[in-house]
A and B are shown apart, each in its own frame.
Chain A
Amino acid sequence: MDRIREAFQAGHKLLIPFVVAGDPDYERSLNIACAILEEGADMLEIGFPYSDPLADGPVIQAAAVRSLKQGTRLVDCLRLVRDIRARSPKPLVAFTYVNPLIQYGAERFFAELAAAGGDGVIVPDVPLEEAAEVASAAEAHGIQFVPLVAPTSGEERVRAIVRAARGFVYCVSSLGVTGERQHVSRQVRELVDLVRKHTHLPACVGFGVSRPEHVREIAEFADGIIVGSAYVRRVGDAAEAGRDPVEAVRAFTRELKQAAMGAMHPG
C-alpha cells in the first residue's frame, strides 16, 4: 500500500506539518500528532531529535534539546510512529539525521520503521553523493527515500536527485536552516518548475513556511506545503506557559488547512 501516492491523488494540495518526537514529552507529542492529523493535515513529518541538528534553526534545536532531556531514544521515536499509526491512516514520514540512523543500523532502522507503519524518510545531511546505502536499505523495506533539492542545486543536480527520489521531492524554499521567515522567496517557484521539468513526482515546499498566507501562496504552484518551526514554536510556547499544546496546534492546523484548500480569500 502506497499511502504517500494515495494522499497526493486526493486532488488537493497537501498540508504536511512537522513535529518533534518526544516534545515536550512522549504522551503530549503523540496527542499533538494525532490532533494535527484529525484537524485535516494530510501527512505528518516526525522529527527524530538529534544532539547536533545542522540543518535546523533555533526553534527546532530547542525542541530537540527538550525531547532529549526527557530521555527520548530512537526506539521511542519508532514507538511514536507505531502509536500514531494505530490512530491514523495518513502517511507518516520520519525526519532523521544520518548518525542516529547508521548507529542503529540502516537495515534495522528501516525494517522497524516499516513495521511501525512509517511510509517515508527524510535525511537532511545525506546528499545524493552519500545516499546509495541509506536509500537502498529504505527501498528494501518499502520506505520512500524523499530527497531535498535547494535553490543552489542547479539543473544538473536537480535532474540527478529527482531520478533517485521516491514519494515526493522536498524543495527547500530558500538559503538557510529551518525557521520561520517573513516571506516566501521568489526563487522557490523556479525551483519547483525545475523539479517538474524532470519528474512526475509531487513537489513539496518547506523551510520558512510559517503563516496561512505563505501556505496559500505556495499552494498555487506546489503539491504540498511543509510547516515545521511554526508548529514547534507553538508547542514550545504552550508548554512553557503551562498551556495545553494540543489546543494550540489544533487551531493552527485548521487555519493552515483552510489556506491550503484555497477556502480563504486574500484581503
Chain B
Amino acid sequence: MSHYPYPDETGRYGAFGGRYVPETLMSALLQLEHDYLRLSRDASFQAELKYYLQQYAGRPTPLYFAERLTQYLGGPKIYLKREDLNHTGAHKINNAIGQGLLALRTGKRRVIAETGAGQHGVATATVAARFGLECTVFMGEEDMRRQALNVFRMRMLGAEVVAATSGTRTLKDATNEAIRHWVAHVDDTHYIIGSVVGPHPYPMMVRDFQRVIGDEAKAQILEQEGRLPTSVVACVGGGSNAMGIFYPFIEDEDVELIGCEAAGRGLETDYHAASIARGRPGVLHGAKTMLLQDEYGQVQPAHSISAGLDYPGIGPEHAHLAATGRATYVPVTDQEALDAFFLLSKLEGIIPALESAHAIAYLMREAKRYGSDDVVIVCLSGRGDKDVEQVAAREEEQRGPNS
C-alpha cells in the first residue's frame, strides 16, 4: 500500500492548498509551520495535549453501536463516534485545545477565531478561559441570529463576539473578518482556525489535532467488531470532523470514505453549499480548493440549514481526496437532515447537531445498498441542543402554532 504523502513541503495536496495570503501574514505562517512541526515532535507538548484531551475534554469518546437505528434502517451495523459527548458538545474542542496550547507555547497572549454555528467559537472561548488568553470571536450577523445561544455562551466565557456584517453575514464573512483582524494584529495574536481550511499549515495542523477521532474509532471498531468498517461517513462544511475521522483510514483502501455536503434546498437551486458537487477550483481564504463561484470568479453565497456547513469552500485536502477518488462526496438536503435530526432523537435518544444529521441522513437514504454484515461508522460530530430552538421555530412556521 502506498504511503500518503500530503501535504508536500509547499503545503499542497495535489493541485489544492497553498498559501494565498497578503505578504504581511507570510512570516507568521512560516513561523507557525516551524513551531507546529517542532511541537508535534515534542514529547512534553504531546503529553500536555493528551492530558487536556482526557481530563478536560473527556476523551476518548465512545464508539456507540446504534442498535435501534440499525434495526430501523435494515442495512449495515451502524456505529456512532460520539464527538457530541466532548466538553462543549462537539469535536471542535480537540483542535481548540491543540492550538490553544500552541498559542501558549509560542508566547501569544491573544487568540481570535471565526465561527459559523458557534461551536468552534465556544470551543475557542472555553480554551481561552482555561488558559488565560484574551479571546475575540468573529461571527456572521446572520449566524448570530440563528445561533443566539452560542453567542451568549461565548460571552459568558469571557470572549468578545464581533459581528461580521459584510457579504452574506455567515461563516465566509466571519473568516474574512478574522483574517483581516489577524493582518493587523499578527505580532501578538494567534488565529485559531476552526476547520481544515485556510493557508498552509492550517489544513494540516487542524487535521492532525482532529485525527484523534479517527485513531480512536479505528482502535474501537477493531476491538468491538474485529474488523475495519465498510464505510466511514461524516458531514463536510470546511470538513474538520470528516478529515479527522478519515485521515487514519486513508491508507486502508477497502474502507470507503464518504463526506456529506449540504445540498440545502437542492442542487438544482442556488441555495446549497455543495462545493465538490457544484464548485470549480478557485482560491478562498488562502487556499486553492473547490469553490462555489460565478464565471468571473466572484464567490457565490452558500446556503445550508446548518450554519456550520454554510460555506462556499471546503478544505483543500477534501478537494484532493475527491479529485483522486479516495473519498466520495454526496449531497444531503436540508429536509433530509431535518428528518435525520428527528429520527435519531426518537430512536436513540440522541439529538444530533444539524450538521451531523447530514451524515445520519446519508444512511437513511443509502442503508439498503449495504448488507447486514457491513459495518458503518458515522461521525456524530456534535450535539443538537444549539439547534432545538431553530428547528422548533421552523416546525411552528410550517405547521402553524397550534398543531
Interface of A with B (CB < 8 Å)? 50-52, 54-55, 57-58, 61, 65, 68, 73-74, 97-104, 124-130, 147-154, 157, 161, 172, 175-177
**Is B342 interfacial (CB-CB < 8 Å)?**
no
* A96 nearest in chain B by CB position: B297
* Contact partners of A149 in chain B: CB under 8 A: 23
* Contact partners of A127 in chain B: CB under 8 A: 19-23, 26
Contact A130:B293 (CB < 8 A) given known A99-B284, A125-B283, A152-B28: no
* Contact partners of A148 in chain B: CB under 8 A: 22-23
Complexed CA–CA distance, A125 and B297 (Å): 14
Residues A74 and B297 in contact, CB atoms below 8 Å apart: yes
Residues B10 and A129 in contact, CB atoms below 8 Å apart: yes
Interface stretch among B175-183, B251-259, B325-333, B384-392?
B175-183
**Is B44 interfacial (CB-CB < 8 Å)?**
no
Residues A51 and B298 in contact, CB atoms below 8 Å apart: yes
Choose one: A73, A101, A125; the contact of B22 (CB below 8 Å): A125
CB-defined interface of B254-288 with A at 8 Å, one 1/0 digit per residue?
00000000000000000000000000101111100
Residues A52 and B172 in contact, CB atoms below 8 Å apart: yes
Contact A130:B187 (CB < 8 A) given known A50-B298, A152-B27, A172-B24: no
Residues B26 and A157 in contact, CB atoms below 8 Å apart: yes
**Is B149 interfacial (CB-CB < 8 Å)?**
no
Residues A100 and B19 in contact, CB atoms below 8 Å apart: no
Complexed CA–CA distance, A103 and B299 (Å): 11
Complexed CA–CA distance, A50 and B293 (Å): 11
CB within 8 Å of A: which B178-234 residues? 179-180, 183-187
How far, in Å, is A26 (CB) from chain B's closest CB?
Answer: 15
Complexed CA–CA distance, A65 and B283 (Å): 19
Contact A52:B282 (CB < 8 A) given known A125-B21, A147-B23, A152-B28: no
* A100 nearest in chain B by CB position: B297
Residues B24 and A152 in contact, CB atoms below 8 Å apart: yes
Residues A52 and B167 in contact, CB atoms below 8 Å apart: yes
Choose one: A58, A103, A151, A153; the contact of B282 (CB below 8 Å): A103
**Is B4 interfacial (CB-CB < 8 Å)?**
no
Residues A102 and B297 in contact, CB atoms below 8 Å apart: yes
**List of 7 A-B pairs having minimum Cβ-Cβ separation, nearest first:** A103-B297, A176-B184, A100-B297, A150-B24, A51-B298, A99-B297, A99-B283
Complexed CA–CA distance, A153 and B19 (Å): 15
* B184 nearest in chain A by CB position: A176
Complexed CA–CA distance, A7 and B298 (Å): 33
Contact A100:B20 (CB < 8 A) given known A52-B176, A55-B183, A175-B186: no
Choose one: B10, B23, B284; the contact of A52 (CB below 8 Å): B284
Residues A54 and B21 in contact, CB atoms below 8 Å apart: yes
* Contact partners of A104 in chain B: CB under 8 A: 296-297
Residues B296 and A61 in contact, CB atoms below 8 Å apart: no
CB within 8 Å of A: which B1-55 residues? 10, 18-28
* Contact partners of A52 in chain B: CB under 8 A: 167, 172, 176, 284, 299
Choose one: A55, A103, A154; the contact of B27 (CB below 8 Å): A154
* Contact partners of B18 in chain A: CB under 8 A: 129-130
How far, in Å, is B35 (CB) from chain A's closest CB?
Answer: 16
Contact A152:B180 (CB < 8 A) given known A98-B283, A99-B282, A125-B283: no
Residues B283 and A150 in contact, CB atoms below 8 Å apart: no
Residues B298 and A102 in contact, CB atoms below 8 Å apart: no
How far, in Å, is A74 (CB) from chain B's closest CB?
Answer: 5
Complexed CA–CA distance, A175 and B293 (Å): 30
Complexed CA–CA distance, A195 and B19 (Å): 23
* Contact partners of B176 in chain A: CB under 8 A: 52, 54
How far, in Å, is A62 (CB) from chain B's closest CB?
Answer: 9
Complexed CA–CA distance, A57 and B23 (Å): 16
Complexed CA–CA distance, A57 and B184 (Å): 11
How far, in Å, is B7 (CB) from chain A's closest CB?
Answer: 13
**Is B295 interfacial (CB-CB < 8 Å)?**
yes
Choose one: B10, B22, B26, B184; the contact of A124 (CB below 8 Å): B22
Residues A55 and B22 in contact, CB atoms below 8 Å apart: yes
* Contact partners of A130 in chain B: CB under 8 A: 18-20
Q: List 12 A-B contacts (CB under 8 A).
A: A55-B180, A68-B298, A74-B297, A103-B280, A104-B297, A150-B26, A152-B186, A153-B26, A157-B26, A172-B24, A177-B180, A177-B184
Complexed CA–CA distance, A267 and B2 (Å): 72
**Is B71 interfacial (CB-CB < 8 Å)?**
no
Sample of 12 more A-B contacts, CB < 8 Å, known A54-B180, A130-B19: A55-B22, A61-B166, A74-B297, A98-B20, A99-B282, A102-B282, A130-B20, A154-B27, A157-B27, A172-B22, A175-B183, A175-B184
CB-defined interface of B301-334 with A at 8 Å, one 1/0 digit per residue?
0000000000000000000000000000000000
Complexed CA–CA distance, A95 and B27 (Å): 23
Complexed CA–CA distance, A61 and B24 (Å): 19
* A74 nearest in chain B by CB position: B296
Complexed CA–CA distance, A129 and B28 (Å): 14
